[in-house]
Amino acid sequence: MSSMPVSITPYTKCAEMYAIACVSPFNPKAQGACIPRSPALPSQKVTGFARFFVTAPEAAPAFAIWVCPTTAKDGAAIIHTSSTASDYTGQANYLNAANYAAGKLTVVYLTNLPYSLADQTPTSTSAAGAMGRIVSVGLSCRFSGTVFNTGGTYTIFASPNHETLASYSLENIQASNEASLPDINRSMRWVAATAITENELDYPTSSFSATEACYPYSQGQTVSLAAAGVLASVGAPILTIQGSLPLGTSSGATFSCQLVEHLEYTGKFTSAAHTPSDSDIVGFERVTNALSGVGSIRASNPNIDPVSAFIQSSKDALLRNMPMITNTVANAAVSQLKRAMSSGRGSDL
C-alpha cells in the first residue's frame, strides 16, 4: 500500500510578511507587517527609521554601534555609537555616563514614530490612547568611504535572549555562536531582532514597568547615561554592529548606517488608521522555528546574508520536525519564501 503524499500548507500573507520583517527588515515588502498570532486585533502598522554615519578614527580604526529598540516614545534615544571614541577597544561597560560626558559616545534618536510616551501612558481612570508593540527591528551598515580603506571585519550580533550587551566585551560577542564576522566591503550588512517573550509579543499593560513600556526588548534592563544633564537612563541595547579596520588606514573610513523598526499600534488614538490583522499560528511557529537556526548558520558561514540563512534554516526545521516529508517537498515549501524575499533584500528603505 503506497503512502499518502505529504504536502505543506503555504504561508498566509500575514505570516509571509512577518517572515520578511524578521529576516529582511529593510525590504520594502516588510512595511505593513504584523505579528500573526491571536488575538488578531486590527492595528495601525508603522515603519520608523533613522539614518546616520559613523567614521572610524584614523588613530584606532574601529567603531561600535549599539541599539536598544523602542516602541513607546517618539524621540527616544535608540542608537549609541563610538564614532568619536578613538580609544574604543570593544571593552565591556563602555556605555556609561563618563564616556558620554567625555564626548566619546554619540546618540541617535528615533524621531518619526507617531506617538509620544504620554500618548501611551494609562491613567488611573482610562487606558492609554495608543499601545505599541515591535514586529521587528533591523540595523544595517554599509562601507561608504574610499576604496583604499576597504578591508577589515565586522562583528554582527543580536542577543539571542535579549540580554543587555552593555556588559559584553568584543571578545564575549565574538565567542558567541550567534555572532557573524563578515568582511568589510561595499555590501550592505545587517542584523535583525524580533519578539521572544510573551511581554514582547503583547501590547503593554498596566503591569509593565516604564522601561518595558518604552523599550520592550530590553526586558526591564537599563543603561544609566545621566551625566551633567546629558541623558537619563534608557533601555539596554540588544543589537550591535562593530567594525575593525586594518591599522594604517589612510583616512577615517566612513560607514552609512540605517535603523528600521516595524511596529503595530492599537487604541483609541489609532483606530482611524487601523487595518486588519490575521492570526496564523502555524505560520508563526514556522517562522520562529526557522529564526532559531539563523545565528548558527551565519556563524559557520560569515558572509552568508540573513535571507539565505533563513531559507536554509526553514528547510532544516521542516526536515527536522516533519520526518515524513522529502527533500523535494521541503524545497517546494521554502520556494514561496525565496520568491517573496527575492526582491528588495539588502536594500535601503
Q: Residues 302-316: pLDDT tens digits? A: 878 888 999 999 999
Express as a percent the part of the chain with pLDDT over 70: 88
Q: What distance in Å separates the CA atoms of residue 183 and residue 19, rounded to the nearest whole number?
A: 26
The per-residue pLDDT of the chain, averaged, comes to 83
Of the candidates 275, 301, 333, which is a domain's last residue? 275
Q: Report the C-alpha gap between 137 and 25 in whole angstroms.
A: 7
Phi then psi for residue 324, to 5 deg, are -80, -15
85 pLDDT tier (thresholds 50, 70, 90): very low
Residues 209, 306 within the same domain: no
Q: Within this chain, do residues 112 and 174 fall inside the same structural domain, yes or no?
A: yes
The reply to whether 229 and 253 lie within a common domain is yes
Instruction: Provide the residue count of the chain.
Output: 349
Q: Is the pLDDT of residue 171 over 90?
A: no
Mean pLDDT of 107-128: 83
Stronger pLDDT, 34 or 172, i.e. the higher one: 34
- At 244 the pLDDT is 84
Q: What is the C-alpha to C-alpha distance for residues 294 and 191, in angstroms, rounded to an integer?
A: 11
Comparing CA positions, the residue from 232, 202, 197, 203 lying closest to residue 218 is 197
The pLDDT assigned to 271 comes to: 93
C-alpha cell at 91: 571593552
Give the range among 115-124, 143-152, 221-230, 335-344 with minimum mean pLDDT: 221-230
Number of domains the chain contains:
2
**What are the two backbone dihedrals, phi and then psi, of residue 197, each rounded to the nearest 5 degrees?**
-120, 165
In this structure, the answer to whether residues 306 and 219 fall within a common structural domain is no
Q: Which of 32, 31, 203 is nearest to 133 (CA)?
A: 203
Instruction: Specify the range with the lowest mean pLDDT, choosing from 2-11, 60-69, 328-337.
Output: 2-11
Shared domain for 296 and 270, answered yes or no, is no
Please report, to the nearest 10 degrees, the dihedral formed by the alpha carbons of residues 24, 27, 31, 33 taken in order.
-30
Q: Within a domain: residue 3?
A: no
Per-residue pLDDT band at 249 (split at 50, 70, 90): low
Angle at 301 between CA 296 and CA 306, to 5 degrees: 70
% pLDDT > 90, the chain? 31
Tell me, yes or no, whether 2 lies in a domain. Answer: no
- Interval 176-197 mean pLDDT: 89
The conformation of residue 118, written as its DSSP 8-state character, comes to G
Mean pLDDT of 99-112: 83
pLDDT, position 2 = 47
Out of 135-149, 209-223, 277-291, 334-348, least confident range: 334-348
Cα–Cα distance between 324 and 5 in angstroms, integer?
A: 9
Domain with 247, as residue range(s), is 41-275
Tell me: do 250 and 294 sit in the same domain.
no
Write down the pLDDT at residue 246. 79
Check whether residue 343 and residue 268 sit in a common domain.
Answer: no
The C-alpha cell of 317 is what?
A: 526545521
Q: Cα angle at 168 between 165 and 173, to 5 degrees?
A: 95
C-alpha grid cell for residue 200?
Answer: 514582547
Q: Are residues 24 and 46 in the same domain?
A: no
Q: What is the mean pLDDT of residues 264-279?
A: 93
User: Do residues 65 and 242 lie in contact, with contact meaning Cβ atoms separated by under 8 Å?
Assistant: yes
* Whether residue 225 is found in the same domain as residue 315: no
Question: Do 116 and 213 sit in the same domain of this protein?
Answer: yes
Give yes or no for a contact between 270 and 44, defined as CB atoms under 8 angstroms apart: yes
168 inside domain: yes
Average pLDDT over residues 59-74: 81
Q: Do residues 63 and 182 both lie within one domain?
A: yes
- At residue 134, the pLDDT reads 94
Q: Of 156 and 167, which is predicted with more confidence?
A: 156
CATH number, position 267: 2.60.120
Which residue, among 343, 346, 302, 312, has the nearest Cα to 25 in the 3D structure? Answer: 346
HSE of 328 in the Cβ direction (CA atoms, 13 Å)? 2
The answer to the question of residue 292 being in a domain is yes
* 106 and 171 co-located in one domain: yes
User: Residue 252 has what pLDDT?
Assistant: 67
